[in-house]
């Protein structure tokens, strides 16, 4: 298989014109002439949307760099989710598993998801929907921002790392393995952005039509709306089937999507100056009220994050990092480090009678031994050194090779009936405490957006304004309140 980057470029080049053509067949007058696209980008300031996508790529990279180093403090909450939910995702996987379906859903999970995010912006711009172009671009940028503190401070391992017998059909599959090790910490299960982002698009479509008195079925973009809905439903099945997300991730993803969609629906008219200058109606008094109310909500949520860190610090030694069934294999990611840096790994086998087997390897060297959710431990062990940890014992590694991702592959060699092997992993990255501070700071935009949404809804109810009204408050007819 070609590099995911080249596959993505091929999809963009082939499917973008196809999507724009297909969903405008019934209304060809919506199509933007190619000769006017340059003027459209300039006149509607769509170059800012391109910058927005660049910002989110940088933001995601900064977030991912924090994830592994702060685990010493943030731990994970997988045992809580497992206690509530159990193993229904294992039943889903075992019931429907087949090679063709797995290959299709792997492709859909990665490439179609990324393509939908991009092509939705292009489609609305191409059809002259300025407001929706703004909104779906902000949807990707802000929903990811909203999810940041939950990813950093409420880590939940993917189902295939915790449920014995659950296959990592995506993460243990050749080229996908190398790609996801460098782009996904594999413990960002809650919430699911594969649900939050397309659900946010669906809500934005609905709110856009509802506010304008348009029946969704009669909207010019109803067919495209159904296209997004169908893919969202498929994403929901995919994330459960592939051994990635828990069922609880779905409603939590919808909540994140709803917060983002409401915020975007409310601020887009002001950003576009549809009701005057950007800060029109915002008096000094109103600034103070915003800072006070939203500041209090933000501070309260920061305290919740700190409480979560304190709880994890008190209970971290009681919680395993992975659970393996007999014959199962999985891996822990060691983040790419810089020159003159190192990571100290401590891996402890909590099983009472079985020996844990471990191989530490550069990710790219394992690709050939991973296929369709299966790690070929036999081939790996013949080619690479295997380190063993007896029951109750620990082994230590020091990773110092810079600029590459490593994985510690864990294997439970026991026979059926030997029970579940719990493994505890502690990684010590340099400057971890400073990294934790940066994680708090990177979470502030999300917490403030949440506070703004709470404050906005309260003000709308107080002033008798319908919650779908996107008019800035200084233009509300009921009281003329300044923003």
Going from N- to C-terminal start, the domains of the chain cover 4-280, 320-430
The structure tokens 């397309």 sit at 198
The pLDDT of residue 318 is above 70: yes
Joined together, the tokens standing for residue 51 give 């910058």
How confident is the model at residue 478, as a pLDDT? 62
CB pairs under 8 A, 24+ apart, for 270-279? 270/472, 270/483, 271/134, 272/130, 272/131, 272/134, 275/471, 275/472, 275/474, 275/475, 276/472, 276/474, 276/475, 279/483
How confident is the model at residue 280, as a pLDDT? 66
Region 230-251: mean pLDDT is: 95
What's the CATH fold of domain 4-280? Vanadium-containing Chloroperoxidase; domain 1 (1.20.144)
The pLDDT of residue 357 is above 80: yes
Residue 423 banded pLDDT, cuts 50, 70, 90: very high
Distance CA 441, CA 445 (A): 8
What's the CATH fold of domain 320-430? Jelly Rolls (2.60.120)
Joined together, the tokens standing for residue 397 give 């590694």
Find out whether 1 and 7 touch, Cβ atoms under 8 Å.
Answer: yes
Note the Cα 427 to chain centre separation in Å: 23
Candidates 238, 226, 207; CA nearest to 22 is: 226
How confident is the model at residue 432, as a pLDDT? 74
How confident is the model at residue 4, as a pLDDT? 73
CB count in 10 Å sphere of residue 230: 11
Q: Identify which has the larger pLDDT, 185 or 7.
A: 7
Residue 281 banded pLDDT, cuts 50, 70, 90: low
Q: Identify which has the larger pLDDT, 184 or 385.
A: 385
Q: What percentage of residues in the chain have a pLDDT greater than 90?
A: 52
Q: What are phi and psi of 220, to 5 degrees?
A: -60, -25
- Can you state the percent helix, strand and coil of the chain, rounding each to 5? 60, 10, 30
For 136-152, write each residue's pLDDT tens digit. 999 999 999 999 999 89
The pLDDT of residue 387 is above 80: yes
How confident is the model at residue 369, as a pLDDT? 86
Candidates 229, 234, 249, 2; CA nearest to 101 is: 234
For 448-461, write each residue's pLDDT tens digit. 999 999 999 998 88
**Mean pLDDT in the chain?**
88
Residue 114 banded pLDDT, cuts 50, 70, 90: confident
Residue 208 banded pLDDT, cuts 50, 70, 90: very high
Q: What percentage of residues in the chain have a pLDDT greater than 70?
A: 94
Residue 335 banded pLDDT, cuts 50, 70, 90: confident
Candidates 34, 22, 196, 57; CA nearest to 113 is: 196
The structure tokens 């700190």 sit at 306
Sign of CA dihedral 210, 200, 230, 120: positive
Poorest-pLDDT segment among 157-171, 178-192, 370-384 = 178-192
Region 405-419: mean pLDDT is: 90
């Amino acid at each position: 298989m070609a590099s995911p980057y080249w596959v993505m470029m091929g999809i963009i080049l082939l499917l973008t014109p196809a999507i724009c053509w297909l969903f405008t067949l019934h209304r060809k007058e919506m199509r933007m002439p190619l000769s006017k696209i340059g003027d459209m980008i300039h006149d509607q300031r769509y170059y800012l949307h391109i910058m927005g996508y660049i910002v989110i790529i940088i933001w995601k990279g900064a977030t991912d760099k924090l994830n592994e180093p702060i685990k010493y403090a943030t731990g994970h909450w997988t045992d809580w989710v497992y206690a509530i939910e159990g193993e229904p995702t294992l039943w889903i996987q075992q019931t429907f598993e087949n090679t063709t379906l797995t290959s299709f859903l792997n492709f859909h999970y990665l490439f179609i998801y990324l393509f939908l995010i991009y092509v939705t912006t292009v489609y609305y711009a191409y059809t002259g929907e300025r407001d929706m172009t703004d909104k779906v671009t902000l949807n990707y940028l802000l929903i990811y921002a909203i999810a940041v503190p939950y990813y950093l401070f409420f880590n939940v391992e993917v189902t295939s790392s915790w449920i014995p017998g659950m296959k990592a059909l995506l993460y243990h599959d050749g080229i996908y393995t190398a790609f996801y090790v460098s782009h996904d910490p594999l413990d960002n299960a809650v919430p699911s952005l594969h649900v939050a982002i397309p659900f946010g698009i669906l809500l934005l479509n609905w709110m856009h039509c509802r506010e304008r008195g348009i029946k969704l079925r009669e909207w010019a973009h109803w067919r495209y709306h159904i296209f997004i809905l169908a893919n969202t439903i498929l994403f929901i099945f995919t994330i459960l089937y592939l051994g990635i997300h828990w069922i609880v991730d779905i409603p939590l993803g919808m909540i994140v999507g709803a917060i983002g969609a409401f915020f975007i629906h409310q601020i887009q008219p002001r950003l576009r100056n549809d009701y005057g200058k950007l800060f029109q109606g915002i008096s000094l008094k109103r600034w103070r009220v915003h800072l006070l109310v939203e500041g209090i909500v933000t501070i309260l949520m920061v305290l919740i994050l700190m409480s979560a860190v304190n709880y994890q610090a008190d209970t971290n030694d009681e919680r395993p990092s992975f659970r393996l069934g007999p014959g199962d294999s999985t891996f822990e990611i060691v983040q790419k480090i810089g020159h003159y840096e190192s990571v100290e790994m401590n891996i402890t086998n909590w099983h009472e009678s079985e020996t844990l087997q471990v191989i530490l390897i550069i990710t790219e060297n394992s690709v050939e031994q991973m296929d369709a959710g299966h790690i070929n431990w036999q081939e790996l062990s013949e080619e690479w050194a295997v380190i063993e940890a007896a029951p109750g014992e620990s082994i230590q590694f020091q990773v110092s090779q810079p600029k590459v991702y490593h994985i510690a592959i864990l294997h439970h060699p026991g026979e059926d009936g030997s029970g579940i092997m719990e493994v505890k992993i502690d990684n010590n990255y340099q400057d971890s405490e400073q990294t934790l501070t940066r994680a708090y700071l990177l979470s502030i935009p999300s917490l403030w957006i949440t506070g703004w949404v709470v404050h906005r809804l309260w003000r709308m109810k107080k002033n008798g304004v319908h919650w779908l009204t996107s008019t800035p408050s200084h233009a509300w007819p009921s009281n003329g309140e300044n923003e």
